Amino acid sequence: MLNASYEPLNITSWRRAIVLLLKGKAEQVEHNGRYIYAEFPLPTVIRLRYYVRVPYKEIPLTRRNILERDRHTCQYCSYKGEQLTLDHIVPRSRGGGDSWENLVAACVRCNVKKGNRTPREANMRLRTQPRKPYSSLHFDIVKHTQGNLNQEWKKYVIGI
């Protein structure tokens, strides 16, 4: 569900989405081509007709949240698994701090290979530019857009 401003608000069930559409509180933005009733395509993205104010909630910078943001995938070689470490893009010994922009998930092999160097020096490319997730909704959206799921959501979400 998008706010009137097109920012993602929450993830809701299609039943609730249809209720909001029928009540005229929301408009359909995307559907996936499947129909529940002959003339009613199943909504996958709806937008509220009125603006809802959302209080800003800071997401704690934790190992778990960084791994979650990076989909438990090494940001250098795409290895996916449990044995992941956190890599400081600019090494700590060289002034790199703990931040959303400087920490990424990395497999042990890549972390050791990169060592005390920057990605450029080590000639290792980051898959994506790490960003701060804007809300805990970010994580839910990541989960719901794995593989080929809900691909039509992605254009409404920054940094996915």
67 binds Zn ion per the rule CB under 5 A: no
Token pair 């706010």: residue? 3
The nearer residue to Zn ion, 18 or 110, going by C-beta atoms, is 110
Q: How far is the CB of 126 from Zn ion (least distance, A)?
A: 11
Alpha helix stretches (DSSP H) within 71-158: 108-114, 119-122, 136-144
| Contact pattern from residue 101 through residue 140 relative to Zn ion, giving x for each residue in contact according to CB under 5 A and a dash for the rest | ------x--x------------------------------
Q: How far is the CB of 49 from Zn ion (least distance, A)?
A: 46
The nearer residue to Zn ion, 48 or 77, going by C-beta atoms, is 77
CA separation, residue 89 to residues 46, 69, 113 (Å): 38, 16, 13
Q: Identify the sign of the CA torsion 141, 147, 151, 156.
A: positive
1 binds Zn ion per the rule CB under 5 A: no
Binding test (CB under 5 A) with Zn ion, winner from 76, 130, 141, 153: 76
77 binds Zn ion per the rule CB under 5 A: yes
Widest pairwise Cα distance in the chain:
63
Closest CA to 158 of 136, 122, 125, 134: 134
Binding site for Zn ion (CB under 5 A): 74, 76-77, 79, 107, 110
